Copies of this chain bind each other. A is one copy, B any other.
Amino acid sequence: MTEVANNAARNGVWGTDHPIGVAVLGMGTVGTEVVRILRDHADDICNRVGAPVVLRGVSVRDLGKDRGLPAELLTTDSEALVTRDDVDIVVELMGGIDPARALIKQALDAGKSVITANKALLADYTGELAAAAENSRADLYFEAAVAGAIPVMRPLIQSLSGDRVNRVVGIVNGTTNFILSAMAETGADYHDVLAEATRLGYAEADPTADVEGYDAAAKAAILASVAFHTRVTSADVYREGISKITAEDLETAAAVGCTVKLLAICERVVEGPEEGGKESVSVRVYPALIPRKHPLAAVNEAFNAVVVEAENAGRLMFYGQGAGGAPTASAVMGDLVMAARNKFFGGRAPGESVYAELPIAPIGDTPTRYHVNLQVADRTGVLEAVAGEFAKHGVSISTVRQEGHDEGARLVVVTHHAQESALADTVAALAELDSVTSVTSVLRLEGTEE
């Protein structure tokens, strides 16, 4: 404790006699784990910060529930808690926009540092919150908001701050990855697997935010913002969910050596090949085929992984548990120790960096490869007619595979990179062809070198 005493003497405010006070808002899965770690590992945390870190209170919705905590630590009055004089750091784990947004702002305005795991809030209001933090010289940390326990915000914001990130591709939603992995493994239907996921606790009663890609889109916005030093909000993210993925899609994917994953893709787009071409940022979330050999293809069940491609670092991958109480609490606690050290030693978390102000590329301008599955009449000339429609719309074909089938034949067309709009026109035209019974599925293909 000599070091702590020395620091206390040097830093004046905090020390053994005046610990750093923490308020936790919300005691769900993650909040419960944060409170446990704070109480069970107080000695380690004190040693790592340089001063004791003490839990001042936890705000909950229901005071009646037994949480194994002294009653005086619990309150329903979040506002009173965050403004207490003996609270130096606020950990927001209640989720949702309101009242989290106002409470965080109140805390920051009062000079208290804030740790949050609230991706929905950050995806839309980082600008406002970061300005409040900047104004009062407080910290705003949010490692836990993306990919749970996996350190990805700090590597992007700090470790890669001297590099130029070109691409971030991640599996950042555990629920959808659990569903797609199970569909790939068992051949079962989407709705059956979703029901099973709900039963096992991997999907919520209302799974919309996960399965329709809203959660992944919020994370994509946060990732893109820090990767490209540009403010990206959830409205800037093109989003498709997995609810239309069929057992047949997974089967087709397997037949071509691929699997289907819900990807969050953040890409720097450079127009014109020459250095100094006009730059923009493409941010999108959709299910896509990826080759089995791609490092993200092996990420199964509820795990998350993020691949970062930077000019000098090359390709990096970060893998681990993207959700769950203890893993997410690990990320929160890392931020908490850093925020407490900053209070004690007088440092600052890096603030929002949006100097690049790159424009957002519309999805229609973002070329991707496509995998188009057609049910066609089994007669000569079909391939020619189909190929003709692709050519007419300027979509270049990479491979075509024709398979005999009970009722007619199946054509699987894989394109080179094509504009979303050109592909959509092609598909509409294909559906009108006499020889095409139906366009069974259209899936994007990612992770290949063309």
A residues whose Cβ falls under 8 Å from a Cβ of B: 3, 33, 37, 41, 44-45, 47-48, 143, 149-151, 154-155, 158-164, 229, 295, 298, 310-321, 326-327, 329-338, 341-342, 345-348, 350, 353, 355-356
- A–B complex contacts, Cβ < 8 Å, 26 sampled: A3-B355, A37-B162, A41-B162, A47-B356, A48-B161, A48-B162, A48-B353, A143-B159, A154-B154, A154-B159, A161-B333, A161-B334, A161-B338, A162-B330, A162-B337, A163-B334, A295-B319, A312-B330, A314-B326, A314-B327, A315-B320, A316-B318, A317-B319, A341-B350, A342-B347, A345-B348
A33–B163 Cα gap in the complex (Å)?
11
| Complex contact A164–B348 (CB within 8 A) | no
| Complex contact A332–B162 (CB within 8 A) | yes
| Complex contact B317–A320 (CB within 8 A) | yes
| Complex contact A161–B316 (CB within 8 A) | no
| Complex contact B313–A320 (CB within 8 A) | yes
| Complex contact B154–A334 (CB within 8 A) | no
Given contacts A155-B151, A155-B154, A355-B47, contact A312 B346 (CB under 8 A): no
| Complex contact B337–A313 (CB within 8 A) | no
Given contacts A48-B353, A347-B348, contact A333 B229 (CB under 8 A): no
Most buried by B among A45, A151, A298, A311: A151
| Complex contact A334–B158 (CB within 8 A) | yes
User: Which partner residue on chain B sits nearest A10 by CB separation?
Assistant: B137
Partner of A314, one of B316, B320, B353: B320
| Complex contact A337–B151 (CB within 8 A) | no
User: Which partner residue on chain B sits nearest A316 by CB separation?
Assistant: B320
| Complex contact A319–B319 (CB within 8 A) | yes
User: Which partner residue on chain B sits nearest A355 by CB separation?
Assistant: B47
